[in-house]
Chains A and B, each alone.
Chain A
Amino acid sequence: MFHERSSADAADIMPEMPAIRLVNVNKWYGTFQVLHDVSLTVERGSRVVICGPSGSGKSTLIRCINRLETHQRGDIIVNRVELTDQLSKIDRVRSEVGMVFQHFNLFPHLTVLDNCTLAQRWVRKRSRKEADEIAMAFLERVRIPEKAQRYPGELSGGQQQRVAIARALCMNPSIMLFDEPTSALDPEMVKEVLDTMVSLAEDGMTMVCVTHEMGFARQVANEVVFMDGGKVIERNTPEAIFSAPSKERTKRFLSNLLH
């Protein structure tokens, strides 16, 4: 599933393009380099889990995929669209990619329903009625339709995160990015969010998740990527990486995580 430095020419003639392809992506904050030659390919319908210690660049990497962060060197191609400064390309990528954040980023001044319909109406130009129907369908899907008229502040963390997932799904993305979706949650709420993500994975959604939930990784991931210091240290199937990590750094990280 992963090809470091996959050749662009070869990919162009392939009938099925990967959903996401990163080739030698480099990024700096000032003089500090956060990403070093990161390459990774996410096939359509596959699930990739990215883990690593804090400051390893995993969040930055996932945020580059929908251009919340800009990379300075290398290529990021999402659904055949290469990300540049061009607004139309950023729009095309964002219309294909949904994102779920650590701190939900719901709009506190809007009801749950309006959170789910706002972008549908302004970006997708759907009618109020159509947007409401789609929103309710996805709120059903994350098992929270009864909260449609409430405000995010009235919901628990787990409920808010499920609303955030529904909000992203309302835009019919073909790819979903999760940036530490359970890290800000109380332990008893982690499960309800993970269950939602598992059901999404079972439906064949292409997913990239930054998470430390190794049970989740084991259950749904095709591939686990371990990052440290802005580099991809190791990647493999979850079985392989958990039972026999090949790099010392990975071994140490995983053992810290389990104890």
Chain B
Amino acid sequence: MFDFNLFTTAIFGWPLAKGALLTLVLSVSVMAVSLVVATFFGLAAGSGKKPMRWLIGSYVWLFRGAPALLILLFVWNGLPQLSPVFRATWFTPFVAAFLALMLIQVAYLTEILRSAFAAVGKGQREGAAALGLHRWHTFILITLPQALRIAVPSLVNEFISLLKATSLATVISLKELMTVTQFAIATSFRFLEWYGAALVYYMLMVSVLTFAQSRIEAVLSRGHR
């Protein structure tokens, strides 16, 4: 039977809360860094020189093609085999998960941003150039805000996928939300209550993201009907 008391204890208890916090911190830091890197990649892929475009194209091809689980294991188990640097204590499951997920996330975001930048018409850049604005001013003030308006739904989609993909890091024993849930089940054999509690946490985080998306879209779509 479903033990409702255990379910509420699981939700309000420390283990899941800490696991969820780790999931959140990992997702947010991966997303933040990936956004910055992918902005440069997206720009270079859209306007860079041919070798640059080819390089970024290959990167996207590789990290979009390989399964996340495989990349995670490659980074966690493979890198230490490659160099003693990765056998030092700083190379924790968190760092490995961050690195693996970032590599994948950058690939997806690069594609989204590249096409969003391209969707902002040439006329906008020319209008800015004719006023004497330089390339970076034009990018930050004109292209980026308009590109983000186009890209936000896809970016939030990727953020949500990422948030859930962090659960894969359970295989390298990162103590994120899914791992701590499994731990709790291993000692209690209460599946429904712990899975249910974990589900509540994921749904809560995704709901916050969805709400944030609607707010950001409202701000960025000013002037558009």
Contact = CB atoms under 8 A, between A and B. Distances in A.
Q: Are A and B a genuine interacting pair, yes or no?
A: yes
A106 B131 CA distance: 11
Contacts of B124: 105, 107
A107 B123 CA distance: 10
Interface in B9-61: none
A111 B223 contact: yes
Interface string A86-115: 000001001101110101111111110000
Interface of B is mostly: helix
B27 to A, nearest CB: 28
B128 to A, nearest CB: 8
B220 A171 contact: no
B127 A98 contact: no
B126 to A, nearest CB: 5
A62 B15 CA distance: 68
Interface residues of A, number: 29
A1 interface: no
Interface in B201-225: 220, 222-225
B126 A105 contact: yes
B223 A105 contact: no
B149 to A, nearest CB: 7
Interface of B: 123-124, 126-133, 137, 141-142, 145-146, 149, 220, 222-225
A108 B130 contact: no
A91 B130 CA distance: 9
A171 B223 contact: no
B133 A122 contact: yes
Interface string A111-125: 100000011001100
A103 to B, nearest CB: 6
Contact of A171 (B126, B132, B137): B132
B157 to A, nearest CB: 22
Contacts of B132: 91, 94-95, 119, 123, 171
- Most A CB atoms within 10 A — which of B137, B142, B145, B223? B223
